[in-house]
Amino acid sequence: MQAAGATLGALSLRGAVVAGSETVYFTHGVASGDPMADRVILWTRVLPGLEQHRHVEVVWQVALDKQFRQVVASGTAHTNAARDYTLKVDASGLASDGRYFYRFLADGRVSPTGRTRTLPQGDVASFRLGIASCSNYPQGYFNAYRHMAESDLDLVLHLGDYIYEYPEGGYANPIALEQLGRHVEPLGETLSLEDYRMRYGLYRTDADLRLLHQRHPFVCVWDDHEIADNTWRLGAVNHNPGEGDFLQRVRAARQAYDEWMPIRTSPQGDQGPIYRSFEIGQLADLVMLDTRLHGRDKGFEYASDLPMRSQVFDVSEPVNVRAISDAEAAGLPAASLQRLNIPFDTNSGAAKPILDYNTIKSIDADSLPEGWRYLPDIQRFLEGPLKAQERTLLGEDQEQWLQQTLSRSQTRGSTWQVIGQQVLMGRLSIPVLTDEELQLDQLPAVQAAQLKAMQFMGGQGVPLNLDAWDGYAACRARVQANLLRYAANPVVLAGDTHNAWAFNLRDEQANPVGVEVGTPGISSPGFESYLPVAPEVLKAALLASSPELVEAETQSRGWAEVELTPRAMRARWHYVSTVLDRKYDVSTSQTLICMAGDRAFSDDKKAN
Q: Which has the higher per-residue pLDDT, 146 or 53?
A: 146
Q: What is the reported pLDDT for 136?
A: 98
* SS3 assignment, position 298: coil
Quick one: pLDDT band at residue 7, thresholds 50, 70, 90?
very low
Q: What is the reported pLDDT for 604?
A: 56
Quick one: pLDDT band at residue 481, thresholds 50, 70, 90?
very high
How far apart are alpha carbons 447 and 440 in whole angstroms? 8
| Burial class for 174, CB neighbours closer than 10 Å (0-12, 13-18, 19+) | exposed
Q: Name which CATH class applies to 1-118.
A: mainly beta
Q: Give the CATH architecture of domain 392-607.
A: 4-Layer Sandwich (3.60)
Mean predicted confidence (pLDDT) in 487-512:
98
How far apart are alpha carbons 519 and 494 in whole angstroms? 6
How far apart are alpha carbons 285 and 504 in whole angstroms? 20
Q: What is the reported pLDDT for 4?
A: 38
For the full predicted model, state whether its pTM sits above 0.85. Answer: yes
All structural domains of the chain with their residue ranges: 1-118, 308-375, 392-607
pLDDT digits (tens, 9 = 90+) for 245-302: 999 999 999 999 999 999 998 777 766 799 999 999 999 999 999 999 999 999 999 9
Q: Angle CA(95)–CA(90)–CA(38) in degrees, nearest 5? A: 20
Q: Could you tell me the sign of the dihedral formed by the alpha carbons of 268, 269, 271, 274, in that order?
A: positive
Distances 347 to 106, 309, 372 between C-alpha atoms, Å: 78, 18, 7
pLDDT digits (tens, 9 = 90+) for 29-56: 999 999 999 999 999 999 998 778 899 9
Contact 250, 196 (CB under 8 A): no
Q: What is the reported pLDDT for 603?
A: 74
How far apart are alpha carbons 120 and 42 in whole angstroms? 18
How far apart are alpha carbons 109 and 362 in whole angstroms? 78
